[in-house]
Protein backbone atom coordinates (compact mmCIF):
# COMPACT_ATOMS: atom_id res chain seq x y z
CA UNK A 1 0.00 0.00 0.00
CA UNK A 2 1.37 3.44 -0.89
CA UNK A 3 2.07 6.01 1.81
CA UNK A 4 -0.68 8.35 0.64
CA UNK A 5 -3.27 5.56 0.42
CA UNK A 6 -2.29 4.42 3.89
CA UNK A 7 -2.80 7.94 5.25
CA UNK A 8 -6.28 8.03 3.72
CA UNK A 9 -7.13 4.68 5.30
CA UNK A 10 -5.72 5.81 8.63
CA UNK A 11 -8.29 8.59 8.94
CA UNK A 12 -11.06 6.05 9.48
CA UNK A 13 -9.19 4.33 12.27
CA UNK A 14 -8.42 7.62 13.97
CA UNK A 15 -12.07 8.35 14.59
CA UNK A 16 -12.26 5.59 17.17
CA UNK A 17 -9.96 7.80 19.23
CA UNK A 18 -12.70 10.31 19.87
CA UNK A 19 -13.20 13.30 17.57
CA UNK A 20 -16.47 15.08 18.30
CA UNK A 21 -19.12 14.02 15.77
CA UNK A 22 -21.66 16.22 14.10
CA UNK A 23 -25.09 16.05 15.65
CA UNK A 24 -27.24 13.42 13.97
CA UNK A 25 -29.79 15.23 11.85
CA UNK A 26 -33.17 14.09 13.16
CA UNK A 27 -34.99 16.75 11.13
CA UNK A 28 -35.00 17.60 7.45
CA UNK A 29 -34.65 21.31 8.22
CA UNK A 30 -33.05 23.56 10.84
CA UNK A 31 -34.61 26.93 11.62
CA UNK A 32 -32.64 29.65 13.40
CA UNK A 33 -35.06 32.11 15.01
CA UNK A 34 -34.48 35.46 16.71
CA UNK A 35 -30.97 35.98 15.35
CA UNK A 36 -29.25 39.15 14.19
CA UNK A 37 -27.32 38.52 11.00
CA UNK A 38 -23.89 39.65 9.88
CA UNK A 39 -24.16 38.61 6.25
CA UNK A 40 -20.42 38.67 5.46
CA UNK A 41 -20.63 41.84 3.36
CA UNK A 42 -22.23 44.63 5.36
CA UNK A 43 -21.19 46.75 8.32
CA UNK A 44 -24.13 46.25 10.66
CA UNK A 45 -26.29 43.49 12.07
CA UNK A 46 -29.78 42.89 10.76
CA UNK A 47 -32.97 43.29 12.72
CA UNK A 48 -34.08 40.09 14.47
CA UNK A 49 -34.50 37.49 11.76
CA UNK A 50 -35.11 33.84 10.97
CA UNK A 51 -32.87 31.69 8.77
CA UNK A 52 -33.94 28.35 7.35
CA UNK A 53 -31.38 25.67 6.49
CA UNK A 54 -32.48 22.71 4.38
CA UNK A 55 -29.90 20.08 3.59
CA UNK A 56 -26.60 21.92 3.20
CA UNK A 57 -28.08 25.19 1.94
CA UNK A 58 -29.56 28.35 3.41
CA UNK A 59 -32.95 28.45 1.71
CA UNK A 60 -34.89 31.32 3.29
CA UNK A 61 -34.16 34.44 5.35
CA UNK A 62 -36.92 36.60 6.78
CA UNK A 63 -37.37 39.32 9.38
CA UNK A 64 -40.77 37.78 9.99
CA UNK A 65 -41.51 34.21 10.89
CA UNK A 66 -40.82 31.33 8.51
CA UNK A 67 -43.41 28.59 8.20
CA UNK A 68 -41.93 25.17 7.53
CA UNK A 69 -43.79 22.13 6.27
CA UNK A 70 -42.87 18.93 8.06
CA UNK A 71 -40.33 18.37 10.81
CA UNK A 72 -37.90 21.12 11.70
CA UNK A 73 -35.28 21.58 14.41
CA UNK A 74 -35.79 25.03 15.89
CA UNK A 75 -32.89 26.96 17.41
CA UNK A 76 -33.82 30.03 19.44
CA UNK A 77 -30.93 32.40 18.80
CA UNK A 78 -31.94 34.63 21.75
CA UNK A 79 -30.86 37.72 19.83
CA UNK A 80 -27.34 36.43 19.26
CA UNK A 81 -25.29 37.04 16.10
CA UNK A 82 -25.52 34.62 13.18
CA UNK A 83 -22.65 34.96 10.72
CA UNK A 84 -20.80 32.93 8.08
CA UNK A 85 -18.22 30.38 9.15
CA UNK A 86 -14.69 31.75 9.24
CA UNK A 87 -12.15 31.03 6.50
CA UNK A 88 -8.37 30.80 6.98
CA UNK A 89 -6.58 31.53 3.70
CA UNK A 90 -3.19 30.14 4.73
CA UNK A 91 -2.95 26.90 6.67
CA UNK A 92 -0.70 23.85 6.87
CA UNK A 93 -2.88 21.37 8.71
CA UNK A 94 -0.34 18.56 8.48
CA UNK A 95 2.37 20.71 10.06
CA UNK A 96 0.36 22.97 12.35
CA UNK A 97 0.95 21.60 15.82
CA UNK A 98 4.03 19.37 15.89
CA UNK A 99 7.56 20.79 16.32
CA UNK A 100 9.52 20.98 13.09
CA UNK A 101 11.94 18.27 14.16
CA UNK A 102 9.01 15.91 14.83
CA UNK A 103 7.57 16.55 11.36
CA UNK A 104 10.93 15.89 9.70
CA UNK A 105 11.85 12.76 11.64
CA UNK A 106 8.58 10.89 12.30
CA UNK A 107 6.59 8.67 9.99
CA UNK A 108 3.90 10.65 8.16
CA UNK A 109 1.21 8.50 9.76
CA UNK A 110 2.10 10.03 13.14
CA UNK A 111 1.87 13.48 11.57
CA UNK A 112 -1.58 12.53 10.29
CA UNK A 113 -2.71 11.58 13.79
CA UNK A 114 -1.73 15.03 15.04
CA UNK A 115 -3.33 16.68 12.01
CA UNK A 116 -6.62 14.91 12.72
CA UNK A 117 -6.83 16.56 16.11
CA UNK A 118 -5.70 19.89 14.62
CA UNK A 119 -8.49 19.73 12.03
CA UNK A 120 -11.17 19.09 14.64
CA UNK A 121 -9.80 21.87 16.84
CA UNK A 122 -9.83 24.28 13.91
CA UNK A 123 -13.49 23.56 13.24
CA UNK A 124 -14.26 24.08 16.94
CA UNK A 125 -12.68 27.53 16.64
CA UNK A 126 -15.31 28.38 14.03
CA UNK A 127 -13.06 28.04 10.98
CA UNK A 128 -15.22 26.02 8.61
CA UNK A 129 -12.95 26.42 5.56
CA UNK A 130 -9.18 26.46 5.05
CA UNK A 131 -6.89 27.01 2.08
CA UNK A 132 -4.07 24.59 2.79
CA UNK A 133 -0.82 25.73 1.19
CA UNK A 134 1.57 22.87 1.58
CA UNK A 135 1.67 19.35 2.92
CA UNK A 136 0.35 15.83 2.31
CA UNK A 137 -3.19 16.82 3.22
CA UNK A 138 -5.19 14.92 0.58
CA UNK A 139 -5.93 11.94 2.83
CA UNK A 140 -6.96 14.18 5.72
CA UNK A 141 -9.29 16.12 3.44
CA UNK A 142 -10.82 12.90 2.13
CA UNK A 143 -11.47 11.66 5.65
CA UNK A 144 -13.20 14.94 6.54
CA UNK A 145 -15.29 15.00 3.37
CA UNK A 146 -16.39 11.39 3.93
CA UNK A 147 -17.45 12.19 7.49
CA UNK A 148 -14.88 9.87 9.04
CA UNK A 149 -13.33 12.72 11.00
CA UNK A 150 -14.27 16.33 11.71
CA UNK A 151 -12.57 19.36 10.30
CA UNK A 152 -12.95 22.31 7.96
CA UNK A 153 -13.49 22.22 4.24
CA UNK A 154 -10.00 22.08 2.71
CA UNK A 155 -8.75 23.63 -0.51
CA UNK A 156 -5.48 21.66 -0.84
CA UNK A 157 -2.34 22.70 -2.69
CA UNK A 158 -0.62 19.41 -1.95
CA UNK A 159 3.15 19.51 -2.00
CA UNK A 160 4.91 22.85 -2.04
CA UNK A 161 7.08 23.22 -5.15
CA UNK A 162 10.59 24.51 -4.47
CA UNK A 163 13.91 24.94 -6.19
CA UNK A 164 17.00 23.27 -4.75
CA UNK A 165 18.02 25.23 -1.69
CA UNK A 166 14.67 27.01 -1.69
CA UNK A 167 12.09 27.59 0.99
CA UNK A 168 10.55 24.17 0.42
CA UNK A 169 13.82 22.23 0.33
CA UNK A 170 13.75 20.36 3.63
CA UNK A 171 16.37 17.80 2.72
CA UNK A 172 18.93 17.22 5.41
CA UNK A 173 22.55 18.17 4.71
CA UNK A 174 23.47 14.49 4.49
CA UNK A 175 20.93 14.09 1.67
CA UNK A 176 22.83 16.57 -0.53
CA UNK A 177 23.83 16.46 -3.29
CA UNK A 178 20.81 14.63 -4.63
CA UNK A 179 21.43 11.38 -6.45
CA UNK A 180 19.57 10.60 -9.66
CA UNK A 181 16.24 8.94 -8.87
CA UNK A 182 16.62 9.42 -5.12
CA UNK A 183 13.82 11.19 -3.25
CA UNK A 184 14.01 12.75 0.19
CA UNK A 185 11.59 11.96 3.00
CA UNK A 186 9.66 15.17 2.33
CA UNK A 187 9.29 14.29 -1.34
CA UNK A 188 8.23 10.71 -0.64
CA UNK A 189 5.60 12.02 1.77
CA UNK A 190 4.42 14.57 -0.83
CA UNK A 191 5.09 17.41 1.58
CA UNK A 192 7.42 19.42 -0.66
CA UNK A 193 8.80 18.63 -4.10
CA UNK A 194 12.14 19.96 -5.35
CA UNK A 195 12.09 20.87 -9.04
CA UNK A 196 14.72 22.71 -11.08
CA UNK A 197 13.91 23.80 -14.66
CA UNK A 198 10.59 24.70 -16.31
CA UNK A 199 9.97 21.10 -17.35
CA UNK A 200 10.53 19.79 -13.83
CA UNK A 201 8.24 22.45 -12.33
CA UNK A 202 5.59 21.65 -14.93
CA UNK A 203 5.76 17.95 -14.05
CA UNK A 204 5.46 18.56 -10.30
CA UNK A 205 2.54 20.92 -10.87
CA UNK A 206 0.71 18.36 -12.97
CA UNK A 207 1.30 15.70 -10.32
CA UNK A 208 -0.34 17.81 -7.60
CA UNK A 209 -3.27 18.61 -9.87
CA UNK A 210 -3.67 14.90 -10.60
CA UNK A 211 -3.78 14.22 -6.85
CA UNK A 212 -6.55 16.77 -6.37
CA UNK A 213 -4.89 20.15 -5.77
CA UNK A 214 -7.32 23.06 -5.94
CA UNK A 215 -4.45 25.54 -6.39
CA UNK A 216 -0.66 25.32 -6.67
CA UNK A 217 1.88 26.70 -4.20
CA UNK A 218 5.32 27.70 -5.51
CA UNK A 219 8.16 28.96 -3.33
CA UNK A 220 9.38 32.12 -5.04
CA UNK A 221 11.63 33.55 -2.35
CA UNK A 222 13.43 33.00 0.92
CA UNK A 223 11.60 32.08 4.08
CA UNK A 224 11.78 31.80 7.84
CA UNK A 225 11.35 28.09 8.59
CA UNK A 226 13.78 26.83 5.94
CA UNK A 227 17.45 26.40 6.74
CA UNK A 228 19.30 26.98 3.47
CA UNK A 229 17.92 30.25 2.13
CA UNK A 230 18.34 33.79 3.45
CA UNK A 231 15.01 35.59 3.56
CA UNK A 232 16.08 38.17 0.97
CA UNK A 233 16.83 35.75 -1.87
CA UNK A 234 14.74 35.41 -5.03
CA UNK A 235 13.91 31.85 -6.04
CA UNK A 236 13.06 30.37 -9.42
CA UNK A 237 13.12 32.22 -12.73
CA UNK A 238 10.21 33.67 -14.67
CA UNK A 239 10.13 30.70 -17.10
CA UNK A 240 10.06 28.23 -14.19
CA UNK A 241 7.20 29.97 -12.39
CA UNK A 242 5.39 30.49 -15.69
CA UNK A 243 5.53 26.72 -16.29
CA UNK A 244 3.52 26.20 -13.10
CA UNK A 245 1.11 29.00 -14.04
CA UNK A 246 0.48 27.52 -17.48
CA UNK A 247 -0.06 24.01 -16.12
CA UNK A 248 -2.46 25.31 -13.45
CA UNK A 249 -4.31 27.49 -15.95
CA UNK A 250 -4.82 24.48 -18.22
CA UNK A 251 -6.68 22.91 -15.29
CA UNK A 252 -8.73 26.05 -14.66
CA UNK A 253 -6.96 27.11 -11.49
CA UNK A 254 -4.12 29.34 -10.32
CA UNK A 255 -0.72 29.61 -8.64
CA UNK A 256 0.03 31.38 -5.40
CA UNK A 257 3.61 32.03 -4.32
CA UNK A 258 5.49 32.35 -1.07
CA UNK A 259 7.46 35.60 -1.34
CA UNK A 260 8.50 38.50 0.86
CA UNK A 261 10.62 40.86 -1.24
CA UNK A 262 9.86 43.25 -4.11
CA UNK A 263 12.07 41.38 -6.58
CA UNK A 264 10.51 37.99 -5.81
CA UNK A 265 6.98 39.37 -6.02
CA UNK A 266 7.58 41.30 -9.24
CA UNK A 267 9.04 38.23 -10.89
CA UNK A 268 6.04 36.16 -9.82
CA UNK A 269 3.60 38.74 -11.15
CA UNK A 270 5.46 38.79 -14.47
CA UNK A 271 5.04 35.01 -14.60
CA UNK A 272 1.27 35.33 -14.14
CA UNK A 273 0.57 34.33 -10.54
CA UNK A 274 -2.72 35.49 -9.04
CA UNK A 275 -1.86 35.59 -5.34
CA UNK A 276 1.10 36.56 -3.16
CA UNK A 277 1.34 34.94 0.25
CA UNK A 278 3.25 36.98 2.86
CA UNK A 279 4.95 40.01 1.26
CA UNK A 280 5.77 41.74 4.55
CA UNK A 281 8.94 43.25 3.04
CA UNK A 282 7.35 44.87 -0.03
CA UNK A 283 7.83 48.45 -1.16
CA UNK A 284 5.27 50.98 -2.40
CA UNK A 285 5.97 50.46 -6.10
CA UNK A 286 5.42 46.71 -5.86
CA UNK A 287 2.24 47.13 -3.83
CA UNK A 288 0.96 49.54 -6.47
CA UNK A 289 1.77 46.97 -9.17
CA UNK A 290 -0.22 44.32 -7.30
CA UNK A 291 -3.22 46.64 -7.23
CA UNK A 292 -2.89 47.44 -10.94
CA UNK A 293 -2.69 43.76 -11.88
CA UNK A 294 -5.50 42.66 -9.54
CA UNK A 295 -3.20 40.28 -7.66
CA UNK A 296 -4.43 39.04 -4.28
CA UNK A 297 -2.36 39.70 -1.17
CA UNK A 298 -2.72 36.94 1.43
CA UNK A 299 -1.25 38.56 4.53
CA UNK A 300 -0.79 37.26 8.05
CA UNK A 301 -0.76 39.47 11.17
CA UNK A 302 2.75 38.45 12.17
CA UNK A 303 4.11 40.44 15.11
CA UNK A 304 6.51 39.49 17.88
CA UNK A 305 3.86 38.97 20.54
CA UNK A 306 3.82 35.19 20.89
CA UNK A 307 6.30 32.43 21.60
CA UNK A 308 8.43 31.58 18.59
CA UNK A 309 9.09 27.95 17.62
CA UNK A 310 12.66 28.99 16.78
CA UNK A 311 15.41 29.38 19.43
CA UNK A 312 16.53 32.91 20.24
CA UNK A 313 19.62 33.82 18.25
CA UNK A 314 19.07 31.12 15.63
CA UNK A 315 19.17 32.00 11.95
CA UNK A 316 15.47 31.18 11.66
CA UNK A 317 14.59 33.45 14.56
CA UNK A 318 16.60 36.33 13.11
CA UNK A 319 14.81 35.96 9.78
CA UNK A 320 11.50 35.90 11.60
CA UNK A 321 12.25 39.14 13.44
CA UNK A 322 13.31 40.82 10.21
CA UNK A 323 10.03 39.82 8.58
CA UNK A 324 7.96 41.00 11.56
CA UNK A 325 9.24 44.55 11.07
CA UNK A 326 7.30 44.90 7.83
CA UNK A 327 3.84 43.84 8.98
CA UNK A 328 2.47 47.29 9.88
CA UNK A 329 3.67 48.82 6.61
CA UNK A 330 2.30 45.90 4.60
CA UNK A 331 -1.22 46.36 5.92
CA UNK A 332 -0.96 50.12 5.43
CA UNK A 333 -0.02 49.61 1.77
CA UNK A 334 -2.76 47.04 1.22
CA UNK A 335 -5.31 49.58 2.42
CA UNK A 336 -3.72 52.54 0.63
CA UNK A 337 -3.79 50.89 -2.79
CA UNK A 338 -7.02 48.95 -2.36
CA UNK A 339 -5.35 45.58 -2.89
CA UNK A 340 -7.61 42.54 -2.57
CA UNK A 341 -6.47 41.23 0.82
CA UNK A 342 -7.01 37.87 2.49
CA UNK A 343 -6.62 36.81 6.12
CA UNK A 344 -4.54 33.77 6.99
CA UNK A 345 -2.60 32.47 9.97
CA UNK A 346 0.14 30.19 8.56
CA UNK A 347 0.46 28.43 11.93
CA UNK A 348 3.45 26.09 11.78
CA UNK A 349 5.17 23.71 14.18
CA UNK A 350 3.44 25.02 17.30
CA UNK A 351 0.27 23.86 19.05
CA UNK A 352 0.17 27.21 20.82
CA UNK A 353 0.29 29.12 17.53
CA UNK A 354 -2.42 26.92 16.03
CA UNK A 355 -4.66 27.49 19.03
CA UNK A 356 -4.28 31.27 18.64
CA UNK A 357 -6.15 31.30 15.31
CA UNK A 358 -9.03 33.34 16.71
CA UNK A 359 -6.64 35.58 18.61
CA UNK A 360 -4.83 36.37 15.37
CA UNK A 361 -8.14 37.27 13.74
CA UNK A 362 -8.99 39.57 16.63
CA UNK A 363 -5.54 41.17 16.30
CA UNK A 364 -6.53 42.29 12.80
CA UNK A 365 -8.43 45.04 14.61
CA UNK A 366 -5.05 46.77 14.90
CA UNK A 367 -5.35 47.72 11.22
CA UNK A 368 -9.04 47.33 10.30
CA UNK A 369 -12.49 47.93 11.73
CA UNK A 370 -14.30 44.86 13.11
CA UNK A 371 -16.61 44.84 10.07
CA UNK A 372 -13.62 44.92 7.71
CA UNK A 373 -11.94 42.10 9.61
CA UNK A 374 -14.98 39.85 9.59
CA UNK A 375 -15.69 40.64 5.93
CA UNK A 376 -12.12 39.65 5.06
CA UNK A 377 -12.35 36.36 6.98
CA UNK A 378 -15.67 35.43 5.35
CA UNK A 379 -16.83 36.99 2.07
CA UNK A 380 -13.42 38.18 0.86
CA UNK A 381 -11.59 34.95 1.64
CA UNK A 382 -14.39 33.05 -0.10
CA UNK A 383 -13.70 35.11 -3.23
CA UNK A 384 -10.06 34.04 -3.07
CA UNK A 385 -11.11 30.40 -2.74
CA UNK A 386 -13.28 30.86 -5.83
CA UNK A 387 -10.15 31.46 -7.94
CA UNK A 388 -9.86 27.67 -8.03
CA UNK A 389 -12.78 27.69 -10.46
CA UNK A 390 -13.69 24.16 -11.56
CA UNK A 391 -10.99 22.74 -9.26
CA UNK A 392 -12.87 23.96 -6.19
CA UNK A 393 -13.82 20.85 -4.21
CA UNK A 394 -17.00 22.43 -2.84
CA UNK A 395 -19.27 24.02 -5.47
CA UNK A 396 -21.49 26.72 -4.04
CA UNK A 397 -21.31 30.12 -2.37
CA UNK A 398 -19.46 30.52 0.91
CA UNK A 399 -18.67 33.41 3.19
CA UNK A 400 -22.17 34.91 3.18
CA UNK A 401 -25.53 34.47 4.89
CA UNK A 402 -27.79 34.55 1.85
CA UNK A 403 -30.47 32.33 0.39
CA UNK A 404 -28.80 29.72 -1.78
CA UNK A 405 -25.44 29.88 0.01
CA UNK A 406 -23.82 26.88 1.65
CA UNK A 407 -24.83 26.57 5.29
CA UNK A 408 -21.56 27.21 7.12
CA UNK A 409 -22.74 29.28 10.08
CA UNK A 410 -21.71 30.49 13.53
CA UNK A 411 -24.01 31.68 16.31
CA UNK A 412 -22.05 34.04 18.54
CA UNK A 413 -23.03 35.29 21.98
CA UNK A 414 -22.53 39.02 21.55
CA UNK A 415 -21.92 41.44 18.71
CA UNK A 416 -18.48 40.92 17.10
CA UNK A 417 -18.96 44.11 15.08
CA UNK A 418 -18.67 45.96 18.38
CA UNK A 419 -16.38 43.57 20.25
CA UNK A 420 -13.98 41.74 17.93
CA UNK A 421 -12.36 40.00 20.91
CA UNK A 422 -15.30 37.58 20.91
CA UNK A 423 -13.66 35.63 18.08
CA UNK A 424 -10.58 35.07 20.24
CA UNK A 425 -12.59 32.95 22.70
CA UNK A 426 -14.72 30.59 20.61
CA UNK A 427 -15.03 28.03 23.40
CA UNK A 428 -17.16 30.46 25.41
CA UNK A 429 -18.73 32.71 22.77
CA UNK A 430 -19.45 30.44 19.78
CA UNK A 431 -22.68 28.74 20.81
CA UNK A 432 -23.46 26.96 17.53
CA UNK A 433 -21.02 25.85 14.84
CA UNK A 434 -22.53 24.53 11.61
CA UNK A 435 -20.71 23.28 8.53
CA UNK A 436 -22.48 22.09 5.40
CA UNK A 437 -25.82 22.17 7.19
CA UNK A 438 -24.65 19.91 10.03
CA UNK A 439 -24.32 21.05 13.62
CA UNK A 440 -20.94 20.28 15.19
CA UNK A 441 -21.46 22.32 18.36
CA UNK A 442 -24.60 23.51 20.14
CA UNK A 443 -24.31 24.76 23.71
CA UNK A 444 -27.56 26.71 23.88
Superfamily classification of domain 29-85+398-442: Urease, subunit C, domain 1 (2.30.40.10)
* Residue 292 pLDDT class (50, 70, 90 cuts): very high
Q: Please, what is the Cα angle at 349 between 347 and 352, to 5 degrees?
A: 65
Position 187 confidence tier, pLDDT thresholds 50, 70, 90: confident
| 291-311: average pLDDT | 92
Instruction: Supply the pLDDT for residue 100.
Output: 85
What three-state secondary structure class fits 208? helix
Cβ–Cβ under 8 Å, residues 220 and 268: yes
Transcribe 387-410 into DSSP letters. Answer: GGGGG-SS-S--SS--TTSB--EE
Q: State mean pLDDT over 79-89.
A: 99
Q: Encode pLDDT of 362-385 as tens digits.
A: 999 999 999 999 999 999 999 999
Q: What is the pLDDT of residues 101-137, one digit of tens each?
A: 898 888 889 999 999 999 999 999 999 999 999 999 9
For the chain, the structural domain boundaries read 29-85+398-442, 88-391
pLDDT surpassing 80 at residue 179: no
Least confident of 8-22, 70-84, 184-198, 307-321: 8-22
Which CATH number describes the domain made up of 88-391? Answer: 3.20.20.140
Alpha carbon distance 206, 274 (integer Å) = 18
Check residue 349 and give its pLDDT: 87
Amino acid sequence: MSLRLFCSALCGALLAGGAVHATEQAHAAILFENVRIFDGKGSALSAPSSVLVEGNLITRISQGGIKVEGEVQRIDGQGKTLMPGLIDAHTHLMFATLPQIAVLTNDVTFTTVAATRAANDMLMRGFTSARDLGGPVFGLKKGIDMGLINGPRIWPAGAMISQSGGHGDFRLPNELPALAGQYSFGERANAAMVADSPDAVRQRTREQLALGASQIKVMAGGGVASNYDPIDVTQYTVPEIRAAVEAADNWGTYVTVHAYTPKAVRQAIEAGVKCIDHGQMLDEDTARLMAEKGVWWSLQPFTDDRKSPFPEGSANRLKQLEMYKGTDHAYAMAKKYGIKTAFGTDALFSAQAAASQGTMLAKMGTWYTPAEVLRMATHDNAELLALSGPRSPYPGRLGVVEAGALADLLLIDGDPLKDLSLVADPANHFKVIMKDGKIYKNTL
